[in-house]
Amino acid sequence: MKPIIDELPRLYANFLPDFVKTKIPVEELATCNDCAMCQKNALPKTASITHFLPETKCCTYHPMLPNYLVGALLADESPEMNEGRKRIKEKIKNKTGIIPQGIAMPKKYKALYSMASEKGFGRSYSLLCPYYEKAGGSCTIWKFRNAVCSTWFCKTVAGEDGKIFWKKLQGYLADVEIHLINYCLVSAGINADAIIKDPLPFASQESLTAEDIDERINEEEYQNLWGEWAGKEEEFYIKTFELVANLDKKWFEKIMGINQQIHLKKMEDAYLKMTRPILPGKLKRNNKTGVFKMPDGSYNIALGMAIYNIPGFAYQIFEMFDGTILNKDLLKKAKKEKGVAIKEDFLLTFYQNRFLIEAD
């Protein structure tokens, strides 16, 4: 178990609510250094699972980096961030996607991603994140990654309940990012009309201009966007980092307003379901679950990105779950007829992964 805050950029520790000190299970199924979604660790080719490429893993995505996280990276002097800092500086120099709100997904990339992510996620070199280090398979800006990257796990130890928890946390952090970005813009004197009209200018779907397609900058638009900060973008980002680094809990609560309470309630509920799940009395097999018999007689069962290998005798019990009798009676029957004793933990893992679902 480890506290939630350990998964997030450190500067949040100063002001996020105490909930982030709550301990959660370590997501040991997401073995990023030896990616669990790459073929050698997953199902054989016969299975209908799309494996990720070891050279891309799940980093086939261009995150939006909030201004204050860009500033935090620029201000960080640790050598392990050298490569990330170099890449960020290069991006700022090129100006594509460089806005006062942070470093956005370039419009051309966004258009490609919306068409290609369904089949290309985890497998396309063209979708690779600009901060991903292909040779080492690592993230060069890890300490300052955004809400999406901090909360993404292909597999979770609590199955679907774990995924729901991370999704709620991601929703909260995304809202935190928007509020803090806007706080920084207002504090740094960026035109308020522009902020309210378009909080994240590159978030909306719009047709591409010739400049967008060629990733050229319309200098006039760029100057208008940045105003007096044009040419001093690095300085601006560092200033936003300092603004956020100086926040305390009280100020932060004011910035977040009532949204904070709503998110907290959602996260607490999801946390309880993840850590203290209640098993329905009657379960049935989920017919969306993929089943693959392996040469050694064991079975791989899979749903979404969750894959488990179970011995043949356990699969025989799994098959018995047709939703007609209570779990406790079914387990007694299995013991009597097949001589197999199954523990409730087995059912819980299958239920949390939705291989088994509540029967009507």
Q: What is the 3-state secondary structure (H, E, C) of the chain?
A: CEEHHHHCCHHHHHCCCHHHHCEECCCCCCCHHHCCCEHHHCCCCCCCCCCECCCCCCCCCCCCEEHHHHHHHHHCCCHHHHHHHHHHHHHHHHCCCEECCEECCCHHHHHHHHHHHHHHCCCCHHHCCCCEECCCCEECCHHHCCHHHHHCCCCCCCHHHHHHHHHHHHHHHHHHHHHHHHHHHHHCCCCHHHHHHCCCCCCCCCCCCHHHHHCCCCHHHHHHHHHHHCCCHHHHHHHHHHHHHCCCHHHHHHHHCCHHHHHHHHHHHHHHHHHCCCCCCCEEECCCCEEEECCCCCEEEEECCEEEEECHHHHHHHHHCECCCCHHHHHHHHHHHHCCCCCHHHHHHHHHCCCEEECC
- Applying CB under 6 A, among 16, 24, 36, 81 the residue interacting with ligand SF4 is 36
Rule CB under 6 A: is residue 239 a binding residue for ligand SF4?
no
Write down the least CB distance from residue 29 to ligand SF4, Å: 8
Rule CB under 6 A: is residue 202 a binding residue for ligand SF4?
no
Q: Given the complex with ligand SF4, which of 83 and 253 has the nearer CB atom? A: 83
- Applying CB under 6 A, among 20, 42, 57, 236 the residue interacting with ligand SF4 is 57
Rule CB under 6 A: is residue 52 a binding residue for ligand SF4?
yes
Subset of residues 302 to 331 that bind ligand SF4, contact rule: CB under 6 A:
none
- Applying CB under 6 A, among 30, 194, 230, 303 the residue interacting with ligand SF4 is 30
Annotate each residue in 141-180 with x if it binds ligand SF4 (CB under 6 A) or - if it does not, as one string: x---x---x---xx--------------------------
- Applying CB under 6 A, among 12, 15, 109, 131 the residue interacting with ligand SF4 is 131
Of 31-39, 204-212, 237-245, 282-290, which segment contacts ligand SF4 by CB under 6 A?
31-39
Residues that bind ligand SF4 (CB under 6 A): 30-32, 35-37, 52, 57-59, 61, 63, 129, 131-132, 139, 141, 145, 149, 153-154
